[in-house]
Structure 1
Amino acid sequence: MPPLPVRGAPVRATLVIHEPPTGTGNSPGRERDRIRLSFNPERISVRKQARWDRSSGPSNAAAAPAQFVAAQPRVMTLDVFLDAPGSRGGVQREVEKLLACCSPTERSAVEKPASAPWVRLEWGRSLSTAFLALVTEVSATYTRFDADGTPVRAECTLSLEEAGGTTPRQNPTSGADGPVGTHRVAAGDSLPSIAWYAYGDPGRWRAIARANGIDDPERLVPGSVLVLPQVEDGAGPVPAPGPAGGTR
């Protein structure tokens, strides 16, 4: 059986690095860097657990009923391959960026509390891997060197843990569709995937389309910046606009 056709060119996976939240906030700070992977991952492991309590008395012979305690953070492990033949610094700069994700940023060390950066894997339409995370471990192995000893290829393994908590996405005193943020469109982005990241609900893509005057949700221009409007939490997906809106 012939392989299924792939639409368009492959989308390059990117690790987006953010400043950690300031103070006691739970929203990541500004984007501080991006690491565009030389090769897309071939395998990504995602794991999530729940805590249950089965406390019972010593004389209870039957299994005690389970009581839900808490959801554990999502954990992801992926292999990252970096390649930079002919580059003056090789892959060392990118590897150092990865290693720095396990250390506090200079800004957070000054403003307190000190914290390592927050990261997010950005890879086209992938949703289950596009969560804000903390880097818990980085392992790098250099596998190729230039004549002067400069490492030009590296195989890295990253362990990420979901940052968790509820990220505030709107002014709680207003349910109006005012701007709450922006998103720069990357190749492979779709309105549902952007809505999932911004609001945790892909069904709210219509609010983004309406706020940006998008008539065709299938045609997003990479590099363009979209306004992310405020939507009221708990209101469910934003209703589709009427015929004048043009979205579907």
Structure 2
Amino acid sequence: MSITPVSFAGLGARARLEIIRPVITDERQRRIPLRFSPTDYKLSKSNTFAEITIPGLETPPLQYVRGGSETLTVQALVDTSDTLDNVRTSYVDAIRNLLRPDSREHAPPVVQFVWDEAVFTGVVEKLDVNYVLFGSDGVPLRAQLDLMLKEFRPAAQQVADNPRSSPTVEKSYVVRAGDTLTSISAAVYRRPDEWRALARANGITDPRDLRPGRVLTVPRLM
């Protein structure tokens, strides 16, 4: 038995986009199905580092600045060649609407890409639609969707899930121009009042004497 795009729609778990913010109780409005599950998807994430300029060094030390947002890219196919309905109104418009600001949130909805399980949570950053099949009257019947989602994680959740620093683990810190012991303490401990622990661990008697490029020991907090 040959498998056509339409018959394939009934095989296996179907991928979908699901609106999680704002809260929508009507499941038919909250869930946006994809006619066919994709063959693959791609997750990408990057970090930003700053180069610390120290005269005489061939390779400057790197200082972690921040993490970048993770992105998901997926290519999907939607098709109405069996019913001859307009694929734009049946599938594409609902996905395009995810790019529009919601009146309650004043921002586009937060969605999950679900394929048997929740794979990714984010906002739709980009959507390319390529119509590839038409009826005799010019009605589009099939479209290829190139969809990009950007990760959405509230700041409070990130602090709770993955704190960037821990007061119980000894680390090191490369001083940058404009740094003070107070600002460094706020960055590594989230407590600016712990600057004295940094001063003691590094033998600093004058808190104003911080040269860019100096490597400080960040001690554990007792």
TM-score, normalised relative to structure 1 = 0.52
Question: Which of 7, 24, 29 is the aligned partner of 1:30?
Answer: 24
1:51 and 2:48 matched:
yes
Q: Does 1:78 align with 2:79?
A: no
CA contact (8 A) 1:49 1:72 kept: yes
CA contact 2:41–2:74 (8 Å) conserved in 1: yes
* 2:123 maps to amino acid: L
Contact kept? 2:84, 2:141, Cα under 8 Å: no
State the distance in 1 between where 2:104 and 2:57 align: 56
**Quick one: percent identity of the two aligned structures?**
24
8 A contact 1:18–1:119 mirrored in 2: yes
1:153 pairs with one of 142, 156, 161: 142
Q: Distance in 1 between matches of 2:156 and 2:31?
A: 21
Residue 63 of structure 1 pairs with residue 59 of structure 2: yes
Does 2:97 align with 1:100?
Answer: yes
The answer for the alignment partner of 1:122 in structure 2 is: 114
Report deviation, 1:10.
Answer: 1.9
State the distance in 2 between where 1:131 and 1:38 align.
Answer: 19
1:90 to 80, 86, 89: 86
Contact 2:76 2:146 in 1 (8 A): yes
Q: Secondary structure at the match of 2:72?
A: strand
Task: Name 1:40's counterpart in structure 2.
Answer: 37
- Please tell me the root mean square deviation across aligned C-alpha atoms, in Å: 2.6
Q: Is the 8 A contact 1:134 1:160 kept in 2?
A: yes
Q: Is the 8 A contact 1:73 1:164 kept in 2?
A: no
Q: Find the residue that maps to 2:104 and give its secondary structure.
A: helix
Q: Which residue of 1 aligns with 2:201?
A: none
One-letter code aligned to 1:99: R
Gaps of 5+ in 1: 1-8, 21-28, 109-113, 173-198, 201-248
Distance 1:145 1:96 in 2: 17
Between the aligned partners of 2:99 and 2:61, the Cα distance in structure 1 is: 40
Q: Match of 1:25?
A: none
Q: How far apart in 2 are the matches of 1:88 and 1:19?
A: 33
Picking from 97, 100, 124, the partner of 1:135 is 124
Change (3 A) 1:147 1:33: farther
* Amino acid aligned to 2:120: F
Q: Distance in 2 between matches of 1:88 and 1:106?
A: 33
| Residue number in structure 1 paired with 2:167 | none
Contact 1:19/1:105 (<8 A) preserved:
no
Q: Is the 8 A contact 2:72 2:120 kept in 1?
A: no
Higher share of residues assigned helix: 2
1:163-194 deviation line (CA, Å, top 9, x unaligned): 123466xxx9xxxxxxxxxxxxxxxxxxxxxx
If the length of structure 2 is used for normalisation, what is the TM-score? Answer: 0.58
**Which amino acid is 1:17 matched to?**
I
Unaligned ranges ≥5, structure 2? 1-10, 163-222
